[in-house]
Amino acid sequence: MEAEITSQAVGLASNADFSVLQLFIRADIIVKTVIVLLIACSVYSWAIIFEKIKLFKKINLSSDKFEEKFWKSKSAETFYNSLPENIEDPMALVFKGSMQTLLKSKSKSNLNERMSSMFEANIEKQMIKIDKNNIFLATVGSTAPFIGLFGTVWGIMNSFQSIAISRNTSLAIVAPGIAEALFATALGLLAAIPAVVAYNKFINDSKKYSQKLENFSKRFLSII
């Protein structure tokens, strides 16, 4: 009798489909919700990653060109007047905002301090735009493994309930349920690892670009 039960269990396990789609279909509503949430987080994270890569490549190139043209210009005011209205480069916008303050300033007292404060405010404003969505990457990187672990724990609980109901301790009976549970953990890691790596890279790129803006502002203040 025991041999017959074992044979049936092995037969069930061998007939079970362990493809990703079937693992999702067989999962209960809680595990399915976890899987969908993790997939959505992963997709959005990758969208942010590609967008950030393009952004840093674009602004580094445009800022280098802007800085080169600026130092070759005859005067800051002439260069300011030649800037297009719809310019998007962060360094150009920092310069533009600071020059507007300089040209509108009637008093020359404490000009250096006021210009320095304006540069800092403009740099911070641009860096806030550049650092947009970094918090989402950090959140996914820190929470996705735990969300996946929750789905795993829930799935294993269901597998143990199946053991209790069937009164069969064979691993073949609960193998599909455990596979579904572990799938949630795998998705959690799949979402978290790229998000953490990308977050660290973009934070480093952001610091380098912020330093570039600060260096430009210091050099500009030195000629005022």
54 found inside a domain: yes
Rounded distance, CA 130 to CA 52, Å? 8
What is the total count of domains within the chain? 1
Confidence label for 102 from pLDDT (cuts 50, 70 and 90): confident
**Per-residue pLDDT tens digits for 26-82:** 667 888 888 899 999 999 999 999 999 999 999 999 999 999 998 888 888 888 888
Residue 5 forms part of a structural domain: no
- Is the residue at 11 inside a domain? no
pLDDT value of position 170: 63
Is 76 part of any domain? yes
Interval 190-207: pLDDT, tens: 999 999 999 999 999 999
Instruction: Give the structural domain span for 59.
Output: 33-223
In a domain, residue 130? The reply is yes
Q: Is residue 16 part of a domain?
A: no
pLDDT for position 174: 64
CA dist list (Å): 49 to 46, 54, 56, 102, 192: 5, 9, 11, 38, 13
Q: How buried is 10 (Cβ within 10 angstroms: 0-12 exposed, 13-18 middle, 19+ buried)?
A: middle
CA 146, CA 142: separation in Å to the nearest integer?
8
pLDDT of 138 reads 95
Looking at the domain assignment, is residue 27 inside a domain? no
Q: Express as a percent the part of the chain with pLDDT over 70.
A: 79
The answer as to whether 2 is a domain residue is no
Question: What is the overall mean pLDDT for the chain?
Answer: 82
Mean pLDDT throughout 167-179? 65
